[in-house]
Amino acid sequence: AQKITQTQPGMFVQEKEAVTLDCTYDTSDQSYGLFWYKQPSSGEMIFLIYQGSYDEQNATEGRYSLNFQKARKSANLVISASQLGDSAMYFCAMREANTGNQFYFGTGTSLTVIP
């Protein structure tokens, strides 16, 4: 079974608007971490934001916030005030403690910001 599911292969957003990228995960572990990465066309994977399974508050990093709904096993990324430079692939990832902290990645969502 897929550990990380990203159901939106492509998304479009108007510049300065907010956008939500979906991510659901599958784990039976109580201790895990959720990560979002951005991959521009240059190839580099850039770490954006982290949410721990025991964190009670949603993580925020500048214009990025993570909408963590533990019971639904979802960890959606919200980008506020989109900029043209936000156009990239976005990957959700999970790290489980019971599998030696191996990272599992989703298939990604391609975001295009329209001027």
Residues of this chain that interact with other proteins (CB under 8 A) are 4, 31-33, 35, 37, 42-47, 50, 52, 91, 95, 97, 100-108
Q: How far is the CB of 113 from other proteins (least distance, A)?
A: 22
Q: Closest CB to other proteins among 24 and 106?
A: 106
Strand partners, 60: 65
For CA atoms 59, 63, 69, 74, the dihedral sign is negative
Nearer to other proteins, 33 or 79 (CB): 33
**Cβ–Cβ < 8 Å for 53, 98:** no
Pairing state between β 10-14 and 109-114: parallel
Contact 109, 11 (CB under 8 A): yes
Q: How far is the CB of 97 from other proteins (least distance, A)?
A: 6
| Smaller CB separation from other proteins, 14 or 31 | 31
